[in-house]
Chains A and B, each alone.
Chain A
Amino acid sequence: MDELEVRRRLLTDPYHLAPEQLQQLQQDPDSQQFHQDVLELDQHIKQLLSPPVPKALENALLLQQHKHKQQQQKRFYQNLIALAASVAFLAGFALNWSFFLYGSQSLGENSLAHVYHEEQYVQHLTTPLSLADVNVKLADFGAELNSSEHAIVFANFCNFRGTRSLHLVLETEQGLMTVFVVPKENSLDYESEFHDDKYQGRSINSHKAILVMVSDKTEVLQQGEQQLLKNLQFKA
C-alpha cells in the first residue's frame, strides 16, 4: 500500500479500518497523524452540525405515538358503534317490515280473505270435478276422499301465509261450502269458530291437517262437517 492509497482510504472512511490499515498505522507515525487530522476535522464538523436537541422532542415523539394509538382505538370503537347502530337500524327495519308483511293473523281471517277473493269466480263454477282429480291434490296432504255426496266444483292449491294449502268448493243443495285443507305447520293462529257479517266458519283440528269450512249458511256447515268427517280419511 503506497502512501497515496493509505491516505485515500483514510479520507474515505476513518472509522472502519481494515486490519492491514491498523497495522500500517502502527508502523507509520505520519499516517497516524493524518488519521488524527481527519478525525479532528470530522469532530469539528460534527460539533458544528450538532445543535442542541430540544428537550421536549423525545417526549413529544413518545406522546405522539400514544395519541395515534388512542385515535386508532377510538376509531375502532367508533366504527364498532356505527356498525352496531347499523345492525340495530336494519333489525328494527326488518322487524317493522315483517310485522307489516306477516302481522299476526288468525286462521279465520285468512280463510275469509280467501273466500272473498274467490267469491266472484266461484259463482260461475258448475262443472263438478272427478273424485280422482280431487284425490290427486288431496294426496299432497296425505288425505283421501272416499266419496262425496256433493259435487266438488273447485279444487286448487292456495297460499295460507306461506303454507301451501288446498282450497275446495263444494256445491250443496243449500249453497256453496268452501273447505280449506291446511297443514298443521302454518303461521296462523288457530281458531275453531269464526264469522263475519256474511260468512261463518269452523275448523277441525285433525291429527294431520286442519280442515277449515266456510259457508254463508249454518246448516250447510253442519252437514258439510258431518260429511267430511265421514268421507275424508288421512293416511297414517
Chain B
Amino acid sequence: MWWSTDKAAAKKQAPEKEQRQHSYMQLVRLYHADLYRYSCWICRSADIAEDLVQDTYLRAWKSIDLLQSEASAKAWLFTILRNENARRFERKQFQYQEVEQELLLDEHQVSPEQLYSQQQLLKQIESLEPEYSEPLILQIIGGFSGDEIAQLLSLNLNTVNTRLFRARKQLRDLLSHENVREQKNG
C-alpha cells in the first residue's frame, strides 16, 4: 500500500539525517582549529578568518552528502575554504594587507628576543613566493601529504615536491644569512 512504502522511506531517512548531523559535528570538532589557522594565514585577518571558516562549514553542511570518506574530509574542507576565499576575492577587490602582527604573534608570552626572531621568521616566510609558501603552509599547518597538496592545488606531485624543497631551502638560506649578519653586527 502506498502509505507503507512512505513510512519505510521516512524511517530510512531519519538515521541518515542523524548520520549527517553526526558527521558535521565530527568535522567541526576535528578540523575547525586547523582550518581557522590556515584561514588566518590566507586572510591575514582574524575577523575575516572567522567568517571564512563559518562560510566554509556552512557550505560543507549543505553539500555534506558529497563527502566521500572520513579520510578525505580534511582535504575536502580545505578545498572548500580555498574556494570560499577565492569567491570572497571575486565579490570585492580585497586589499592585500601586511600580516597583522598581533594576530600571529602572541606578544605576552615571549621575550623580546623571541619576539624579534619570530618577526624575522614571519618576514622570511612572507618573502617567499606564494607558489612556494602555499604548499609549505599546507604541509605544516594542514599536515597534508604531498599527494593531498597536489590535489588541493591542482598540481602534479613532482611540482609540489620541488616547490616544497625550494621553499624550505630558501627559508633556511634566508635565516642563515640573517644569522651571519647578526653575528657580524654583534
Q: Which residues of chain B in 121-138 are interfacial with respect to chain A, using CB atoms and an 8 Å cutoff?
A: 121-122, 125, 136-137
B36 and A49 contacting across the interface, CB-CB below 8 Å: no
B84 at the interface (CB under 8 A from A): no
B145 and A64 contacting across the interface, CB-CB below 8 Å: no
A236 at the interface (CB under 8 A from B): no
Q: Return the chain B residue nearest A56 by Cβ.
A: B50
Q: Which of B21, B54, B104, B137 contacts A61 (CB 8 A)?
A: B54
Q: Return the chain B residue nearest A8 by Cβ.
A: B165
Q: Which residues of A contact B36 (CB under 8 A)?
A: 53-54, 57
List 4 A-B pairs, minimum CB-CB distance, nearest first.
Answer: A11-B168, A12-B165, A53-B33, A61-B28
Measured CA separation A23–B40 after assembly (Å): 38
Q: Which residues of A contact B73 (CB under 8 A)?
A: none
Chain B interface size range? 35 or more
B169 and A58 contacting across the interface, CB-CB below 8 Å: no
Q: How far is the CB of A38 from chain B (nearest CB, A)?
A: 7
Q: How far is the CB of B111 from chain A (nearest CB, A)?
A: 14
> Which of A40-48, A121-129, A160-168, A218-226 is near enough to bind chain B?
A40-48
Q: How far is the CB of A212 from chain B (nearest CB, A)?
A: 46
* Chain A interface residues toward B at CB < 8 A: 8, 11-13, 15-16, 38, 41-42, 44-46, 48-54, 57-58, 60-62, 64-65, 68-69
B37 and A53 contacting across the interface, CB-CB below 8 Å: yes
Q: Which of B24, B118, B139 contacts A65 (CB 8 A)?
A: B24
Most B CB within 10 A of own CB, among A38, A48, A62 = A48
Q: Which residues of A contact B106 (CB under 8 A)?
A: 51-52
B140 at the interface (CB under 8 A from A): yes
A58 and B29 contacting across the interface, CB-CB below 8 Å: yes
B145 and A13 contacting across the interface, CB-CB below 8 Å: yes
Q: Which residues of B contact A64 (CB under 8 A)?
A: 54, 57-58
